């Protein structure tokens, strides 16, 4: 059966189309429409790469912050369950998933069946998420990709102790304006280290069980990856398309549910 997994994130919508456990196509879209309209658009875009049409989809599972707005989904599942399932599909040895998105950071403890045993997220603060990095990139006046690589060239790590995104900005400004100014690469390394400390703390609250996967848009940031690996003292497993992990998990669940139905 043809199934789809939809991840309705705060900035982007991701979709994966699956048939008989094979990924037929996927899309990541940022659209002006919201909620259900964006979900429909994502599916229409993705299905264009296949020989099917949206009405051929037999089962759709929606996840992500906006999942409740997708009325046409057959099931809505929490991000933790979908992240666990997606990680298990790609990397059966993974036991911890760290998903760092635009506004949310979720850590999931995964069992050998691909189920979520435990999860934790940032509930009151965005300082360990994509919007924090975007704010910092704006402050440093450089694109995110360039900022990511810059921290690898740092000679030391500037201390940015504040956990709050707004106060961290003030610390960065102080570094820029002090005499002599802190080197830019060191500041950027400090930004990544501060994020890694925050997220590392969240992971440790649940307990680190290897292998550990990193997903979400921020998993494309090499500077942050290195900082988090340093904080946790291990090598991270990163999917080739890290933003799609939850959508993949949702699609896997859709496949399971459709098999139960038939």
Binding site for other proteins (CB under 8 A): 77-81, 113, 115-120, 123-124, 205, 207
Q: Among residues 187 and 203, whose Cβ is nearest to other proteins?
A: 203
Q: Among residues 48 and 205, whose Cβ is nearest to other proteins?
A: 205
CB 49 within 8 A of CB 24: yes
Structure letter (DSSP) for residue 30: -
Closest approach of other proteins to the CB of residue 166, in Å: 18
Q: Among residues 176 and 208, whose Cβ is nearest to other proteins?
A: 208
Closest approach of other proteins to the CB of residue 45, in Å: 28
CB 241 within 8 A of CB 247: no
Closest approach of other proteins to the CB of residue 109, in Å: 9
Q: Among residues 65 and 142, whose Cβ is nearest to other proteins?
A: 65
Q: Is 8 helix (H, G, I), strand (E, B) or coil?
A: strand
Q: Among residues 11 and 206, whose Cβ is nearest to other proteins?
A: 206
Alpha carbons 84 and 138: distance in angstroms, whole number: 33
Closest approach of other proteins to the CB of residue 159, in Å: 24
Four-point Cα dihedral 74, 78, 81, 86, nearest 10: 70
Cα–Cα distances in angstroms (integers) from residue 197 to residues 15, 63, 161, 215, in the given order: 31, 27, 9, 17
Q: Determine the distance from the C-alpha atom of residue 231 to the mean position of all C-alpha atoms in its chain, rounded to a whole number.
A: 18
Shortest CA distance to 231 belongs to which of 155, 138, 128, 101? 128
Alpha carbons 71 and 87: distance in angstroms, whole number: 26
User: Hey, how many other C-beta atoms are within 10 angstroms of the C-beta on 123?
Assistant: 7
Alpha carbons 210 and 192: distance in angstroms, whole number: 22
Closest approach of other proteins to the CB of residue 133, in Å: 24
Q: Among residues 64 and 239, whose Cβ is nearest to other proteins?
A: 64
Closest approach of other proteins to the CB of residue 120, in Å: 7
């Amino acid at each position: 059966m043809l199934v789809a997994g939809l991840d309705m994130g705060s900035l982007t919508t991701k979709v994966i189309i699956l048939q008989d456990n094979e990924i037929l196509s996927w899309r990541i879209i940022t659209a002006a429409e919201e909620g259900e309209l964006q979900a429909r658009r994502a599916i229409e875009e993705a299905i264009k790469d296949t020989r099917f049409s949206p009405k051929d989809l037999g089962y759709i599972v929606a996840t992500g912050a906006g999942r409740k707005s997708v009325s046409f989904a057959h099931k809505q599942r929490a991000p933790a369950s979908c992240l666990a399932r997606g990680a298990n599909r790609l990397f059966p040895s993974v036991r911890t998933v760290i998903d760092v998105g635009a506004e949310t950071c979720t850590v999931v403890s995964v069992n050998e069946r691909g189920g979520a045993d435990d999860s934790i997220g940032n509930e009151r603060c965005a300082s360990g998420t994509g919007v924090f990095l975007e704010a910092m990139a704006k402050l440093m006046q450089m694109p995110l990709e360039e900022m990511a690589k810059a921290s690898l060239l740092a000679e030391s790590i500037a201390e940015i102790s504040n956990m709050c995104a707004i106060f961290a900005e003030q610390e960065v400004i102080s570094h820029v304006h002090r005499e002599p100014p802190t080197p830019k690469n060191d500041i950027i390394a400090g930004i990544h280290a501060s994020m890694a400390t925050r997220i590392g703390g969240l992971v440790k609250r649940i307990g680190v069980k290897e292998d550990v996967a990193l997903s979400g848009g921020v998993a494309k940031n090499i500077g942050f990856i290195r900082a988090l690996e340093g904080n946790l003292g291990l090598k991270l497993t990163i999917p080739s398309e890290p933003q799609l992990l939850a959508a993949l998990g949702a699609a896997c669940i859709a496949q399971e549910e459709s098999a139960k139905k038939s």
